[in-house]
Amino acid sequence: MGRSLISSYKTSIALLLVYALSMAIATFIEKYWGTEAAKVAVYHSPLFFLLQLFLVINFIAASLRRRLFKRGKWGFLAIHFSLIIILAGALTSHIFGKEGVVHLRETERLDYMLVQTNKGNSRHPLPFSIELTDFTMARYPGSASPSSFESLIRIHDGDQSFERKISMNNVLDYKGYRFFQSSYDRDERGTILSVNQDAAGRAITYSGYAVLILGFVLCFTGKNTRFRQLVRNLKQMKKAAAMLALLLSGAAANAQHSTNDLYNLFQKNAIPAEHAARFGALPMQSLDGRLEPVNTFASEALRKLHRADKVGNLNADQFLLSLLTMPEMWMQIPFISLKNKDIARHYGLTAGQCAYVELFDDDDNYKLQRDLDAVFAKPPAARSRFDKDLIKLDEQINIFYRLAANDMVNIFPEAGDPNHTWTASHELLYGYLAQVAAGLKTGDWTAADDVLRDIRRYQTEHTTLAIDHKKLDTERRYNRLNIFRQCKKIYLMAGGILLVLAFISLFKKNKAVRAGIYLLTAVVSAGLLCHLSGMALRGYIAGYAPWSNAYETMVYVAFITVAAGFLFVRQSAITLALATIFGGVILFVSGLNWIDPQISPLVPVLKSPWLMIHVAVIVAAYGFFGIGFLLGLTNHTLLFFNKKNRNDILTRRVNELTLINEMALWAGLALMTIGSFVGAIWANESWGRYWGWDPKETWALITVVVYAVTLHVRLLKKLDNPRVLNLLSILAFAAVLMTYFGVNYYLSGMHSYGS
């Protein structure tokens, strides 16, 4: 009885669920009581170590009992033994590894590092001494944001000494000690280096990662693996199957307010789009130091103020130039987006859209000020929806004020400035705006065009920065095309019609329907190519892989989701249709106002090739998990109509889609697991530890465990049926949502956006 319990798959599932639940609880302990509390209560507790030991014993016992070695399950064995190796590496690091900090001032020399223990900091001697020769900081031009920072270190070891540079993603490795650029003193004359001594643990852990990748390769290519069995079963199924037409279709339409009455004033003073486009083509320096066309800034400002791409018939360039020229007029126009009706009612503002002047009383007092002071005094977690929307409205008002004061459009380089700062204030700007005002009266834009050329000439003559006009023109083209919005329309429309035709084809074989499916598949293919071109353009403009923030990763997930649908199109047009619709929904969400699509320079730690690999792989997994979620919903709907499996044809169709679902989940699990551990390598090569139980890391591991349980419940005979797998594929997607959204916007940690 005891032996069978140890080697039981039921025990495996139970242990994995307890493991996932323990980690989930720990992330909330960390949020409310801090990282150390979470480590003491869970991560470093004897019970947690014991739980991991039981998992190892259970797998070894199950492998021996079922003779997996003799059955040639090499991929399966490699994956599971790799996890044992990784755990062994982590245990080695925990017991024998040392982590510390060295804080050096320029010309200072130390031969020890500070190691934090339960009793406080203690000194750990180094077998050599290090000296900070120089610390240098590079910032993005005209901003306070660090582009890079590096320490020039001299190593003194006996009679020899030599210099090395340490910077983010550039590690000094000497005699088993690795030094990482961690932080720096505010006066920029001192450096803080993280130190790690863990040669044995690192070697064991990296070996585990290599075996893990080999195991997944074997699982997807081996002849007798579960994945290959699924492929064979899918090919053997009959293509023809009658199916009940389903679906959930809902047409969402964005109602647009009639704005003719509101905008008559500025429509009469509209600046010609051709001239505004020439203004929008000027290069300017953003607040974070990036050179971008004025058009990009205008689009961002309009989106933040008005929550739309146009005001009436004015595009972003026309709006910005009009606001700079006639700020008093725009102060009277109710165009500032205000969705919170309670705020509008409380302060006597126009609901939906308010004017700048409405925010001030008869004595020119700012109506929001007193309440804002009270809101900012609250901790972020205690702020209500009213409070948060009040802060957003205040940000909008501040943006409008700075625009009206000509304080944000930084198009003039400051001659001789070592920081390469560009400003908005210059006599050329005031002369230009005067000519724009004259052009509105006379209709003659010659003088305004001449001043624009003078501004361009001034920029060329007074900046030491290289202005890449080709890239700026590309960015304007990218802004104008709005590729991802067009892809969203293609995916939602083509995917919806394709879904209908795919269901019709199950009832009736018709050449016209089949031709329609082929045509729509081609349309989706064209949309996918446009999607890829949009990502390539954004990557070219930004200068890095376009999946570094929330907006870009959502765009990338949408691409992977639709692309993954094409992997199964020969087996099921329904799968492609669902994947396409889901891709369109993701793009729709990415375009909502609370997700910022702004292109920003990377912080130093993200300037690593491991970033591109880690994010690309792990986010790709979300696309396959999304397909599993949709197929699970579809199959459960079909099962609802096919109670007791009375319709054999419908039952076969559910089984077919269930096979595709399981294949998608296996692909997602492989990518999620590999991506998580590639991220661990990135962390170890950037700041000296491959696993720190950050909430994002933890929830990525929880997601791996949850989907591992989903795919392994079939080993329990009572749960080996399509209904269970499809239900779990729906429920498991909650872990993905928590990993991507919940951690980013709710929990605290290095990956958090909200906290």
Instruction: Quickly tell me which residue has 């076969």 as its tokens.
Output: 652
Q: Is pLDDT at 154 greater than 70 in this prediction?
A: yes
Question: 194 falls in which pLDDT band (50, 70, 90)?
Answer: confident
What Rg do the C-alpha atoms of the chain give, in angstroms?
30
Which comes out higher in pLDDT, residue 450 or 463? Answer: 450
Question: 180 falls in which pLDDT band (50, 70, 90)?
Answer: confident
The pTM of the full predicted model, rounded to 2 decimals, is 0.72
Give dist(CA 206, CA 82) in Å, integer: 10
Instruction: Write the pLDDT tens digit of every residue in 216-243.
Output: 888 888 777 788 777 777 766 543 333 3
Q: In 316-419, where do the E strands start and end?
A: 336-338, 352-354, 412-413
Burial tier of 448 (Cβ tally within 10 Å: 0-12, 13-18, 19+): buried
For residue 272, the 8-state DSSP code is P
> Which amino acid, 326?
M
Residue 287's nearest CA partner among 274, 296, 275 is: 296
The residue-averaged pLDDT of 37-54 equals 90
Question: 463 falls in which pLDDT band (50, 70, 90)?
Answer: confident
C-alpha pair distances (Å), 704 with each of 16, 628, 662: 10, 14, 15
Residues 182 and 192: beta-carbon distance below 8 Å? yes
The residue-averaged pLDDT of 14-27 equals 94
Note the pLDDT of residue 20. 94
Note the pLDDT of residue 246. 32
Q: Nearest 10 degrees: CA dihedral of 406, 408, 413, 415?
A: 70
Plot region of 416 (φ>0 → left; ψ -120 to 50 → alpha; else → beta): left
Element (H, E) at 193: strand 190-197
Q: Is pLDDT at 173 greater than 80 in this prediction?
A: yes
- Label each residue of 660-679 as H, E or C: HHHHHHHHHHHHHHHHHHHH
Note the pLDDT of residue 244. 31
Element (H, E) at 547: none
The residue-averaged pLDDT of 483-499 equals 94
Instruction: Write the pLDDT tens digit of every residue in 564-614.
Output: 999 888 878 889 999 999 999 999 988 876 677 888 777 666 677 777 788
Give dist(CA 341, CA 241) in Å, integer: 52
Note the pLDDT of residue 544. 84
Task: Give me 387's structure tokens.
Answer: 């409070």
